[in-house]
Amino acid sequence: MNRQNIKTVMIVDDETNILLFTEEILVEMGYRVFTATTAEEAINLVDNPNTKIDLLLTDVMLPEMKGYELAQYIQKTQPNIKLLFMSAYMCPSLARKDDLNDDAFIQKPFTPESLEHAVINIMGKLT
């Protein structure tokens, strides 16, 4: 795969074990991955004009803001970004505004297979 065609995912989760587990799966799938443990860290990464994110994978409940608030902020500068929310809570409506569909949510804990399925549903297969 051409280096310029590699898709980039940003994972935001305050639980380091989830962050590392998720990063490992996505790297194996062929994605370039950025990680952040706080919304502030994620914002600092995306505020760099050279950073283009194709998919934001964020926990719903971050310490300083909700995941959908982070997504709204990032969408201001990267309007084509795709979104996938994750949570240990059962209700996907916590994760999203009404304009997002249920495919944009994955329940924690998840298996590598369920994460891969969710990402492929949103991003399509990498070729």
Domain boundary assignment for the chain? 3-123
Task: Average the pLDDT over 3-22 and give the result.
Answer: 92
Instruction: Show Cβ contacts of residue 49 under 8 Å, excluding neighbours closer than 6 positions.
Output: none
Q: Indicate whether 99 pLDDT > 50.
A: no
Q: Indicate whether 53 pLDDT > 70.
A: yes
- C-alpha to C-alpha distances, 19 to 10, 57, 73, 90, nearest whole angstrom: 10, 10, 21, 20
User: Please, what CATH class does the domain formed by 3-123 belong to?
Assistant: alpha beta
pLDDT for res 95: 46
Helix H or strand E segment including 21: helix 16-29
Confidence of residue 108 (pLDDT cuts 50, 70, 90): very high
Contact 123, 82 (CB under 8 A): yes
- One-letter amino acid for residue 26 of the chain: L
Question: Which span out of 81-85, 86-90, 98-102 was modeled with the highest average pLDDT?
Answer: 81-85
Confidence of residue 37 (pLDDT cuts 50, 70, 90): very high
Best CA proximity match to 33, nearest among 15, 51, 48: 51
Confidence of residue 124 (pLDDT cuts 50, 70, 90): confident
| Summary mean pLDDT of the chain | 88
CA torsion angle 7 97 39 58 (round to 10)? -50
